[in-house]
Amino acid sequence: MITGDGSVGVRGAVPSQIGGILERADADVVYAVGPREMLRAVASAAEQRGARSRWRSRRRCRAAPACAGAARSR
């Protein structure tokens, strides 16, 4: 889980943190919801690591506490 303020999970922006999160999680499926730019970063990071991505595009990410997370370890 990635949150802007670090209140849950890792602090930071999803595009800058997702690669490291996926490496540690060894996820085979990644779920994301948020703006298109973030979804592109998540899908690219997932693909580079052989994981599938499932996403939903939103103009503004209002999900709380975060917009993306890795799920279901291998």
C-alpha 59/C-alpha 73 separation (Å) is: 29
Write out pLDDT tens, residues 29-72: 888 877 888 889 989 999 999 988 887 665 555 554 444 444 43
pLDDT for residue 74: 39
Task: Tokens for 55, please give them.
Answer: 């996403």
Angle between helices 36-48 and 14-25 (to 10 degrees): 30
Distance CA 14, CA 2 (A): 6
Query: With contact defined as beta carbons under 8 Å apart, do 46 and 23 qualify?
Result: no
State mean pLDDT over 8-35: 85
The domains of the chain are located at 2-73
* β-bridge pairing 10-11 and 27-34: unpaired
State the pLDDT at residue 44: 92
pTM metric for this prediction: 0.64
